Amino acid sequence: MGKIIFCQSCMMPMQGEQYGTEKDGSMSADYCHYCYKDGAFTDESTTMEQMVELCIPYVIEAGVFKTADEARKDMLLSYPKLKRWAS
How far apart, in whole angstroms, are the C-alpha atoms of residue 10 and residue 17?
A: 16
Long-range contacts of 16-25 (CB under 8 A, 24+ apart): none
Closest-CA residue to 22 (of 44, 47, 3, 41): 41
Residue 67 reports pLDDT greater than 70: yes
Read off the pLDDT band of 1 (50, 70, 90).
low
Read off the pLDDT band of 3 (50, 70, 90).
confident
- What is the value of pTM for the model shown? 0.91
Average pLDDT over residues 60-69: 96
* Tens-place pLDDT, residues 25-63: 999 999 999 999 999 999 999 999 999 999 999 999 999
